[in-house]
Structure 1
Amino acid sequence: MSAPTSSSNINPMQQALSQLHDIQTPETISQFPPAIGWWILMALVLSFIAITVWLYQRHQTKHRQQKLALAELNRIAISSDTALQQINALLKRACLAYFPRENIAHLHGASWQQFLDSQARSYKGKPLTFNSEWLTLQYQPQQSNAQKAPASAFKQYAEQWIKTALPPSSTVMKAQKQEVVNV
């Protein structure tokens, strides 16, 4: 015999359960757009990257001529009869790359030596000193063996000078530009 199916036999709990619908899950929460904090963090990170790249490029541009001058200096053979002239010309070209042409192009002899001394900073705690003999030897008749020692010393001085004096500091550049304006 089968049991009568009447609504009176159904438990009130089962009756309440039969009225329930399936569970409806909410829509998934989107990851975009992110909260304002993430936008701020992204802006800060992008700003940091942009500033870092700009500073790196500025540094590379500022030191490019210095690197080129050092590379060319290394190619100058001390045994060459014209080593002193080549080194002096290289120093002049390197200076022209950084300083106003009006301040550098006309310098020679004692004024050139004074300029180099004024721009030189100490190298490894020792002051750089320019030997005036180097300038006079450039214009002497070629004496290869006699000029090798001064050429070697001048090359070493030039390397140290390029490393310490170039690129000039911003205060030196401002003073050089002001000097051009005053002339």
Structure 2
Amino acid sequence: MTPPAGENPLDQLKAIHTPADVSAWPLAWGWWALIAVGLIILISAVIIWRKHRRFTGAKREALTLLASTDTQVNTAPASINAILKRVSRHYDEKAMASSRSGEQWLHYLTSALPEKERASFTAGFSPANSHMYRPQGVTPDQAEAMKSAALLWVRKARIYTFSLRSSVKESARNV
């Protein structure tokens, strides 16, 4: 079939219509599932972070109080001991650490530390703790060593067991 002589075969073609643009909406079910999983992970992470932040609030508050303790006053060892007892009572209620004193208190504090930290803690804490209620009191150097040992204990003690199910009964402001 040959076209007539004066007719162009291209004139018989129809105009080309481009297809409609592909839309991103509505999303496929897989994308919705991915968004849902992402939101669940994000919300869970925020909840865990907030619980952990609240749980460690007492530790942060104790570190702040210890750092601001003046070692030049005679009451420094007693206030350092009070801070440590409040932290141990907050995190380790079963140990009844707040009722301990003297060697029992020192043993409790030492046993909560990792093995490699025990000697340095005892060297700094024990002299001031044993001279705390004597008439001559403690020297500022002993109080400073006790403060350093207490800071070490709050940072390194193994009494902090964070659990998603646990709830902190006292707020960090009570420390």
Normalising by the residue count of structure 1, what TM-score does the alignment of the two structures yield? 0.69
Q: Distance in 2 between matches of 1:159 and 1:166?
A: 14
Cα offset, 1:26, TM superposition: 7.7
Change (3 A) 1:141 1:91: same
Q: Is the Cα–Cα contact under 8 Å of residues 76 and 143 in structure 2 kept in the other structure?
A: yes
Structure whose alpha-carbon radius of gyration is higher: 1
Higher relative contact order (CA 8 A, sep 6+): 2
Structure 1 gaps of 5+ residues are 1-10, 172-183
Q: Distance in 1 between matches of 2:52 and 2:139?
A: 37
Change (3 A) 1:136 1:124: closer
Q: Is the Cα–Cα contact under 8 Å of residues 73 and 155 in structure 1 kept in the other structure?
A: yes
**Which runs of structure 2 are paired with 1:19-58 in the superposition (5 Å)?**
31-58=24-51
Of residues 136, 145, 148, the one that matches 1:156 is 148
2:134 paired residue number: 140
> Quick check: 1:66 aligned with 2:37?
no
Change (3 A) 1:124 1:108: closer
- Across the aligned residues of Structure 1 and Structure 2, the Cα RMSD in angstroms comes to 3.2
Amino acid at match of 2:49: Y
Q: Distance in 2 between matches of 1:105 and 1:152?
A: 22
Amino acid at match of 1:48: I
Please give the per-residue CA displacement for 1:46-100, whole angstroms capped at 9, x wherever unaligned.
Answer: 1221122122112211211111001111111010111111111111111111111
Identical counterparts, % of pairs? 27
Q: Distance in 1 between matches of 2:130 and 2:99?
A: 17
Moved more, 32-41 or 125-134: 125-134
Q: Distance in 1 between matches of 2:110 and 2:81?
A: 14
Normalising by the residue count of structure 2, what TM-score does the alignment of the two structures yield? 0.72
Q: Distance in 1 between matches of 2:134 and 2:48?
A: 46
- Matched residue count: 159
SS at match of 1:33: coil
Q: Distance in 2 between matches of 1:76 and 1:84?
A: 9
1:178 paired residue number: none
Please give the per-residue CA displacement for 1:118-167, whole angstroms capped at 9, x wherever unaligned.
Answer: 10125779763254332221111144xx5211101100000000001165
Amino acid at match of 1:117: T
2:98 paired residue number: 105
Amino acid at match of 2:62: A
Amino acid at match of 2:50: Q
Q: Is the Cα–Cα contact under 8 Å of residues 114 and 156 in structure 2 kept in the other structure?
A: yes
Amino acid at match of 1:81: N
> Quick check: 1:114 aligned with 2:107?
yes
